[in-house]
Amino acid sequence: MAVDLQVRLGSLVLKNPVLTASGTFGYGVEYAGYFDVSRLGGIVTKTITLEPREGNPMPRTAETFAGMLNSIGLANVGADCFIKEKLLPLEPLDTAVMVNIAGSSPDEYEKVALKVAAHERVDALEVNISCPNVNKGGLAFGTDPEITREVVRRVRETTVKPLIVKLTPNVTDITAIAQAAVEGGADALSLINTVLGMAVDIETRRPLLARHVGGLSGPAIKPIALAKLYQTVRAVSVPLIGIGGIMTWQDALEFIIVGATAVQAGTLHFVDPCGAVKIIEGIKTYCDEKGIGDLSSIRGSMEDGGA
Amino acid sequence: MKQHRMRLIEQNQPAPGIMRMIFKAPDLARNSRPGQFVQIRVTDTFDPLLRRPFSIHRTHSNGTIEILYRIVGRGTRLMSRTRPGVRLDGMGPLGNPFQTEGNFSTALVVAGGMGSAPAFMLIDTLLKTGKSIHFFWGVRCDDEFFHLEWLRSSGVELHLACERGDTGHQGLITDILEPMMNRYPDSKGFVCGPKPMLEKMQRMIRTFPIPWEVSLEEKMACGVGVCMGCAVRVGQKIQMVCSDGPVFDLREVDFGS
Ligand SMILES: Cc1cc2nc3c(=O)[nH]c(=O)nc-3n(C[C@H](O)[C@H](O)[C@H](O)COP(=O)(O)OP(=O)(O)OC[C@H]3O[C@@H](n4cnc5c(N)ncnc54)[C@H](O)[C@@H]3O)c2cc1C
Ligand SMILES: Cc1cc2nc3c(=O)[nH]c(=O)nc-3n(C[C@H](O)[C@H](O)[C@H](O)COP(=O)(O)O)c2cc1C
Ligand code: FES
């Protein structure tokens, strides 16, 4: 019997648990020439803000050991252009579309959500309260339980569609933020966004990023992501989406075993544009070989003790 | 735009510190145009993590492509040790090519440093159009010149400059280009090279009303326009070097200095 990879995030049914992480898959069709995007469980768009954003000064990416730093600064076309131009190409795709949104005030979050969520092609919203690369909003919101609750509550009022709240690892206690997001009305949580990081060129004595600090992603952050997921699993009962350094199907299974309902691959796309499909194939083979009929039987199945 | 398993058939060193890789990659060879690039994964592991972008240096009708690169860091060092027979994963052709068609009779091709990598494919293509070609080639040390005989015998008018050595002019390529520019009113210019040279070129061409295309480089992560990492301001708008370029109108680029 072949495994059924279908999973649920609130009212949203995904055909498999593998999604693309915001900011690493553009507006969903840029990689269409490399593989059939409809094979994915879902795509998460680049963060959309009310107004278009040009992003931060250059340089805004740098490679580090088994990872990369970015300080893109939420460069995006803005909500109106997104709705007018970027949603149409997604119509024919047989995969869930989740739109990631952000704002510089709770008011702005609400306004973007109102514009975006109403559109039929949008299956869910992912609320980004965790971007380390902007001065207002972003990380400043996602590190404060009160503001987190307020932002989520405001977005919640705009839609009945599933609401995913994306958490930052750059906090002392992620469970406090997770609980606040659930209290605000989140149907699911995704974690983690990038880890605050930095690198310096010793010849010029300048930071590699123009904005000095940025967000670390890639294999280097996977252990951090797993630990944050592990803590969050114990604190809330909504479905969780694991993110951070997922490059292979083995990585994805680690997150599922710790308790993730779905996973997002981000930086992987830059390394291997077809990587997400390979993860789906790998999970399938693993389950078939082990006689696992349904992902729920391994989700959160981690045993105690060391390997 | 595709992923290719490019089989390395030869690697040699045309000049000190500069390597040439020849790959069998028929699809890529057939579909690439001058100015486009390929994003090469230098290892099967995840460290170094990101692909490295390289201009397509030449393509051949036998299904091979060449890239020409300088060893500057971890990725290029690993590449230089890759043996024939190994397959490297390359995404391409990426970006928009130089426009070699048009009503100009003379092409001015200006290359500084590793700008010679795209310049050769550009020259190969221009030769087929029958236009006369002036190649202005500047390097740091004259042992970095190669293929000079082939260029001359193909009818390319060579103008060379080096900062060290005694081939051609002693100094910058822009020194010899500047006083000559007005000799070619019915021409089109193409330039690739380090940023300071491009900025100087931009100032020089203010009073020289022919079209100039430039190929830019920026640090890249995705290479296909999704990460928004390789931004440059061109004609008041933010553009991505990888997907909107790398070829732009030289007059419109904001070098931001
Ligand atoms: C569109 C495009 C085409 C290119 N074509 C060629 C080519 O034909 N031949 C060639 O030799 N080089 C080319 N480059 C530059 C080449 O990509 C870099 O030299 C290479 O990525 C360095 O990798 P590394 O791991 O050896 O160096 P790293 O260890 O990553 O870095 C070493 C040094 O190289 C610089 N560097 C790293 N990445 C880039 C980059 N993407 N662009 C510019 N500098 C960089 C770093 O700032 C650093 O100073 C091109 C770059 C772009 C964007
Ligand atoms: C270049 C780049 C841009 C990103 N942009 C966004 C963004 O706009 N919104 C967001 O919520 N996360 C953004 N992220 C974070 C990713 O969605 C993801 O949380 C993070 O990269 C960790 O996953 P990974 O290690 O698989 O990349 C970005 C990451 C990268 C590398
Ligand atoms: S390198 Fe990602 S947008 Fe250009």
Instruction: Compare CB distances from B227 to A34, A66, A270 and report the shortest one's residue.
Output: A270
> pLDDT grade, residue B108 (50/70/90)?
very high
Ligand 1 neighbourhood includes B246 CB (under 6 angstroms): yes
Q: What is the pLDDT of residue B257?
A: 54
Nearest Cα residue to A154 out of A143, A167, A141: A141
Q: Is residue B156 part of a domain?
A: yes
Ligand 2 neighbourhood includes A276 CB (under 6 angstroms): no
- Judging contacts by C-beta atoms under 8 Å, the chain A residues touching residue B41 are 271-272
Query: Cis (ω within 30 of 0) for the bond into B196?
Result: no
Mean predicted lDDT score pLDDT of chain B:
94
Hey, are the CB atoms on B46 and A58 less than 8 Å from each other? no
Please write the tens of the pLDDT for every residue from B147-192: 999 999 999 999 999 999 888 999 999 999 988 888 888 899 999 9
Count Cβ atoms below 10 Å from residue A13 Cβ, excluding itself: 12
Q: What is the pLDDT of residue A139?
A: 75
Query: Same structural domain for residues B64 and B151?
Result: no
Query: Same structural domain for residues B188 and B168?
Result: yes
Mutation test residue for ligand 2: of A217, A228, A246, A247, the one with most atoms within 8 Å of CB: A217
Rounded to an integer, the average pLDDT of B224-232 is: 97
Query: Same structural domain for residues B55 and B112?
Result: no
Query: Same structural domain for residues B67 and B143?
Result: no
Ligand 1 neighbourhood includes B69 CB (under 6 angstroms): yes
Query: Same structural domain for residues B134 and B114?
Result: yes
Q: Which residues of chain A have pLDDT under 50?
A: none
Q: Output the pTM of the full model.
A: 0.95
Q: What is the pLDDT of residue A1?
A: 65
Boundary-marking domain end, from B94, B120, B153 = B94
Q: Which residue has the tokens 């993860």?
A: A279
Please determine, for residue B201, whether its predicted confidence score (pLDDT) is greater than 90. Answer: yes
Q: From the alpha carbon of B221, which atom of ligand 2 is closest?
A: 1
Q: What is the pLDDT of residue B96?
A: 98
Joined together, the tokens standing for residue A48 give: 């959309």
Q: From the alpha carbon of B74, which atom of ligand 1 is closest?
A: 25
> pLDDT grade, residue B238 (50/70/90)?
very high
- ipTM rounded to 2 decimals: 0.94
Query: Same structural domain for residues B84 and B134?
Result: no
Q: Is residue B238 part of a domain?
A: no
Rounded distance between C-alpha atoms, residue B213 and residue A89, angstroms: 32
Instruction: Compare CB distances from A270 to B1, B50, B232 and report the shortest one's residue.
Output: B50
Boundary-marking domain end, from B94, B126, B159 = B94
Residue B96: DSSP 8-state: B
Residue B173 contacts by C-beta under 8 Å, 6 or more apart in sequence? Answer: B110, B111, B112, B136, B137, B138, B159, B160, B161, B197
Q: Do B215 and B35 meet the contact criterion of CB atoms below 8 Å apart?
A: yes
Return the number of CB contacts < 8 Å for A and B: 92
Number of domains present in the structure of chain B: 2
Please write the tens of the pLDDT for every residue from A196-221: 999 999 999 999 999 999 999 999 99
User: Where in the sequence numbering do the catalytic residues of A fall?
Assistant: 131
Query: Same structural domain for residues B152 and B205?
Result: yes
Boundary-marking domain end, from B94, B127, B158 = B94
Ligand 3 neighbourhood includes B172 CB (under 6 angstroms): no
Q: In terms of CA atoms, which chain B residue is nearest residue A73?
A: B228
Mutation test residue for ligand 3: of B217, B228, B232, B239, the one with most atoms within 8 Å of CB: B228
Domains defined along chain A, listed by start:
7-297 (3.20.20.70)
Establish if B86 touches chain A: CB-CB under 8 angstroms: no
- Judging contacts by C-beta atoms under 8 Å, the chain B residues touching residue A66 are 46-47, 49
Q: Percent of chain B at pLDDT above 90?
A: 89
Q: Give the burial class of A79: count Cβ atoms within 10 A of its Cβ; 0-12 exposed, 13-18 middle, 19 or more buried.
A: buried
Query: Same structural domain for residues B154 and B52?
Result: no
Read off the CATH number of the domain in which B40 is found. 2.40.30.10
Residue A220 contacts by C-beta under 8 Å, 6 or more apart in sequence? Answer: A64, A65, A66, A67, A245
Query: Same structural domain for residues B86 and B59?
Result: yes
Structural domain of residue B46, as residue ranges? 2-94
pLDDT-wise least confident of A221-225, B34-38, B209-213: B209-213
Q: What is the pLDDT of residue B1?
A: 65
Read off the CATH number of the domain in which B172 is found. 3.40.50.80
Rounded distance between C-alpha atoms, residue B88 and residue B65, angstroms: 13
